[in-house]
Amino acid sequence: MTTVFWPRCSAVHGCAGRAVEGSGGCLAHLAPDEFDRFVGSLRPGAEMDLRGVTVPPGLLDAVLRAVTGPDERPHLGRARFDRAVLPSGAALRGILVEGDSSFDGACFLGGASFYDARFLGNVSFRGVRFGRNVSFHGARFHRHASFEEAVFIGDALFGEVGWDADGSFRRAVFLGAACFDRARFGRDAAMQAASFGGPVSFKRVQVARHARLERARFRRGLWLGPLVAGGRIGLTDATAYGGLRVRAAARQVTGRGAVVHGEADFRLRHAELDLEGAVFDGRVSVSSLPRPLQGLTEPSWTGPTNVPERSGSGSQAARVTSLRRVDAAWIELSDVDLSGCGFLGLRHPDALRITGDCPFATAPRRSWRRHGRGHAVLADDLPPATGGPSPEDDDRLAALYGDLARASADSGRGRLARDFRYSELEKRRHSEPVPWRRWVLHLMWITCGYGLRTGRAIAWIAIIVALICSSATLLHDDNRHDAVRILHMSGGHS
């Protein structure tokens, strides 16, 4: 391997570049014959140090041609371009960097292409400024790759890029369109606090661990998916203008505190969805994806192990774990598991619409109803041993049950509406401060289950009829005995 080292450039050139060893000038200021000798000495695998150099047009192309190997790829050892200024149209397509490489603080004056590039070591583009469009399409990063705090003035293309480890874009700024279609992340896709000013697309993306978009901002909306993540998809405190669409398979999707201006659509497999405290300007819909995402490989896990198999949905069904304090004008839930979902604090419960197979938790059955169906309850209302409500939440739960009962009736789910109405009156029966009202509720519960348990009402009617019949029979027998006694007395007197 050829090692090329350049000490600091002399100040006479007015350049922060580095002088070529054995000459009096930096690489950007060599005389033609000196430059030819320097380029002639380069071999594939040479180390490149252009830190602080303002690279003139043609210089980079000449160096890359000199280090091109038999495979027609430019081969570099360690590459150092920190704070370099690279010309418009910088073409590093197909480059293969065998060692670590750094472009920290570099500036690309115009468009740049890293099409089909290969980075075998760690690579850092921290704080880089890309003046126009840049393409990493088909590139491969074999170790950690950082684009933290990079600024993309034009469009950024990362289609079909492969990261064998983490790909980090924390606090990066994308002013144009950003495309990550068919990208593969060997560990995390880290984009916390990134800003996307143009359209952004993550179609058919595979993430081995976590897709982290917490605190990210999307000015033109976000279309996330089809995407498969082995761990979590993080949208906590994210902001999306123009809508949000998530179509993904993952263990968990967290959108706590997210703000979406426009419609939001979540279509999920296996995932537990947490939207606590999120705010939506438009309609929100959440549904389960019954089939695997085409062209993507799901991890070996099969989703939550505590979700029972049900008709119409299996372990692939999404689970909603929290809608607490969600502010949305319309929420539609379809074929999702709601048995562990918290609803307390939901701002517009009357706007909730439930369709398809959406099981809720069931109340613990009494011993005398051991073989009966338990009525549906909210996870917030589970016994305290399993994380249930505190006594001060009873009034809020009663009001919430009432709102959900009306919303369920409007959705055509009469059975669920009756269960919620029953739970509402149960909460009021136990928390009603006025004694006579509490006794009325007790009487209604005992006699007819608040008018919602026909079996109990029929049983009481049967008991009352039996008592009436027994009383009538006894009265009839007494009358007969009296008549016989009178006859006997009359006969004896005559």
Is the pLDDT at 440 greater than 60? The verdict is: no
Phi-psi region of 26 (alpha: psi -120 to 50; beta: other; left: phi over 0): beta
Is the pLDDT at 306 greater than 50? The verdict is: no
Adjacent-strand bridge partners of 310 = 313
pTM over 0.85: no
Q: How far is CA 140 from CA 64, 120, 132, 134, in A?
A: 19, 8, 22, 15
Confidence of residue 214 (pLDDT cuts 50, 70, 90): very high
Confidence of residue 178 (pLDDT cuts 50, 70, 90): very high
Confidence of residue 132 (pLDDT cuts 50, 70, 90): very high
Question: What is the C-alpha separation between 169 and 196, in angstroms, rounded?
Answer: 11
In this prediction, residue 439 carries a pLDDT of 46
Is the pLDDT at 374 greater than 90? The verdict is: no
In this prediction, residue 23 carries a pLDDT of 43
Adjacent-strand bridge partners of 248 = 227, 268
Say if CB 265 and CB 245 are below 8 A apart: yes
Show me where the domains of the chain are located. Answer: 44-296+316-355
Question: What is the C-alpha separation between 382 and 269, in angstroms, rounded?
Answer: 26
Task: Compute the half-sphere exposure of residue 383: CA atoms within 13 Å on the CB side of its CA.
Answer: 5
Confidence of residue 232 (pLDDT cuts 50, 70, 90): very high
Is the pLDDT at 105 greater than 90? The verdict is: yes
Question: What is the C-alpha separation between 282 and 268, in angstroms, rounded?
Answer: 19
**Which of these ranges, 58-72, 171-185, 329-343, has the smallest mean pLDDT?**
58-72
Our measurement of the distance from residue 442's CA atom to the centroid of its chain's CA atoms, rounded to an integer in Å, reads 45
Tens digit of each residue's pLDDT (9 = 90 or more) over 240-298 = 999 999 999 999 999 999 999 999 999 999 999 999 999 999 999 999 998 899 889 88
Confidence of residue 360 (pLDDT cuts 50, 70, 90): confident
356, 270, 271, 251: which is closest to 311 by C-alpha? 356
In this prediction, residue 18 carries a pLDDT of 47
Please give the average per-residue pLDDT across 18-31, as a whole number. 52
Is the pLDDT at 88 greater than 90? The verdict is: no
In this prediction, residue 13 carries a pLDDT of 38
